Amino acid sequence: MNHPADVSLLAASPWWRSDPGTSLVIRGGSRLVGTYPISGAKNAVLPLMVSALLTPHLVTLHNVPASLDVAVLSNLLQRLGVGLNWSSNGRTGLSLTLCADQVHPARIDRDLVGRMRASVLLLGAVLARCGEACLPMPGGDAIGLRGIDFHVAGLRAMGAEVDITGGVIHAKAPRGLRGAEVALPLPSVGATENLLLAAVLASGRTVIRNAAREPEIADLVHCLAAMGAQIEGVNSDVLSIAGGRPLIGAVHTVLPDRIELGTVACAVAVTGGEVMLQRARADLLGAAGPALAAAGVVLENVDGGLLARRSSAGITGIDLHTRPYPGFATDLQSPVMAMLATAKGASAVTETIFEQRFRHVDELRKMGANITVHGRTAWVRGVERLTAARVTATDVRAAAALVLAGLGAKGDTILDGLDHLDRGYDRMADKLVACGAVITRSSA
């Protein structure tokens, strides 16, 4: 099953190849009405795919989102020797079966790693499985410093020798990893996942304190538990892992994407209309749930998902701080800001997770938004309506924010930097078009 043709399902779709010259043309003003299927979560599927490296047995994932990050990670895993088999059906969406009966630790591709921050997760899993790993420094969105010091310190505490020279991380654990007590300085999502992946194969008990509590981590814990791992403390900030047991295969359905849910709900609030967000779960939103409600986004629980619409009072300004889960998700900060740009009244949006996550502000200003940034807070004074402009996405979530802004704006917005949208979302533009949005791809 290990040959490139196995990704044909991915390769056949237009979203797979994000031609750098392609832009999105978004005609503002159409109401969104219809059904929008929420895909499997981007931030859940990546660590789940990596977890397959921990066992020689088959791991099958259902509800896999068709995003560029998934394609890049598929490619990386194939180069490591993992067999991939794709299938598709209407009920579970894309399914992926991974077979890591052999893993070749030396074959990690620098260019691919440079495209995606989550490739750092390969470090813990490959090291735990093979006793060594060699990984170029990971890339990803330019939204802040994004160090990997917590990942490295945790693996060192587990007995790994880690050396970073010439932009390459070399890690060795010739006698295997051993359980350790690790206290994270911040509840880092990636470091929690990396250490969790390493800990299930390490001998003895690992305790991760100040662990991140994002729902995507619980999803990974559930999949690892189905593979036979013993992990206590799911959904809490202390994870205790009894490691060292050989893992078996598992079948797991990826959690729905809470960031896509929040983003599309804001889009509906901006355009008006009513959209059924299929498979969406409001309980995953954390503090973003009440914040969206306060801003005028109505989410009604219905059979099979959530019904999204704008409240009769319209969109009103709110103040928010991004925080680790269950706080307001930093990944929703830019889409929500795009919505608040046309709210009644003013909003204060404070970003506490990433230092450079206001790069969408200049783009929103080109569209007529009234936003000023002071330190980590953006002051947003709502205007009547945005106007179309040519804008550029600089990261995954900024791309979604600019799509949202374009849907509400007067005229045709041209969005460049489309690969960012395709990296994080499963055919978002196509799914919006099915709800009445007027969006086309243009190579001009």
Question: Exactly one of 146, 170, 209, 410 binds ligand UD1 (CB under 6 A); which one?
Answer: 146
Which residues lie closer than 8 Å to 329 by C-beta, 6 or more apart?
258, 259, 262, 285, 286, 288, 322
Question: Bridge partners of 182?
Answer: 208
Q: How far is the CB of 67 from ligand UD1 (least distance, A)?
A: 11
Question: Exactly one of 40, 190, 273, 305 binds ligand UD1 (CB under 6 A); which one?
Answer: 190
Closer of 151 and 420 to ligand UD1 (Cβ): 151
Residue 210 found at the interface with ligand UD1 (CB under 6 A): no
Closer of 219 and 363 to ligand UD1 (Cβ): 219
User: CA 51 to CA 37: how far, in whole Å?
Assistant: 26
Question: Exactly one of 10, 112, 118, 217 binds ligand UD1 (CB under 6 A); which one?
Answer: 118
Residue 189 found at the interface with ligand UD1 (CB under 6 A): yes
Q: Residue type at 165?
A: T
User: CA 246 to CA 199: how far, in whole Å?
Assistant: 12
Residues 157-186 that bind ligand UD1 (CB under 6 A): 186
Question: Exactly one of 4, 21, 144, 304 binds ligand UD1 (CB under 6 A); which one?
Answer: 144
Whether residue 194 contacts residue 123, with contact meaning beta carbons closer than 8 Å, is answered with yes
Question: Exactly one of 6, 219, 331, 416 binds ligand UD1 (CB under 6 A); which one?
Answer: 331
Of 25-33, 57-65, 88-96, 188-196, the segment contacting ligand UD1 by CB under 6 A is: 188-196
Sheet holding 438-442, edge to edge: 390-392, 412-416, 23-27, 438-442
Q: How far is the CB of 255 from ligand UD1 (least distance, A)?
A: 12
Residue 221 found at the interface with ligand UD1 (CB under 6 A): no
Question: Exactly one of 4, 14, 21, 147 binds ligand UD1 (CB under 6 A); which one?
Answer: 147
Of 42, 104, 29, the residue nearest 73 (C-alpha): 42
Closer of 144 and 345 to ligand UD1 (Cβ): 144
Question: Exactly one of 64, 135, 160, 191 binds ligand UD1 (CB under 6 A); which one?
Answer: 191
Of 2-10, 103-111, 141-149, 274-282, the segment contacting ligand UD1 by CB under 6 A is: 141-149
Residue 111 found at the interface with ligand UD1 (CB under 6 A): no
- H or E segment at 397? helix 396-408
Q: Which two tokens stand for residue 362?
A: 């200049």
Residue 395 found at the interface with ligand UD1 (CB under 6 A): no
| b/e 48-65 (16+ beta carbons within 10 angstroms → b) | bbbbbbbbbbbbbbbbbb
Q: How far is the CB of 286 from ligand UD1 (least distance, A)?
A: 11
Closer of 258 and 310 to ligand UD1 (Cβ): 258
Which residues lie closer than 8 Å to 375 by C-beta, 6 or more apart?
none
Burial (CB < 10 A; 0-12, 13-18, 19+), residue 122, is buried
Sheet holding 377-381, edge to edge: 319-321, 346-350, 377-381, 370-374
Of 128-136, 140-148, 261-269, 360-368, the segment contacting ligand UD1 by CB under 6 A is: 140-148
- Ranges of H-type helices in 310-359: 333-340
User: CA 422 to CA 398: how far, in whole Å?
Assistant: 12
Question: Exactly one of 18, 23, 39, 43 binds ligand UD1 (CB under 6 A); which one?
Answer: 43
| Site residues for ligand UD1 per CB under 6 A | 43, 46, 117-118, 144-151, 186, 188-191, 212, 330-331, 353-354
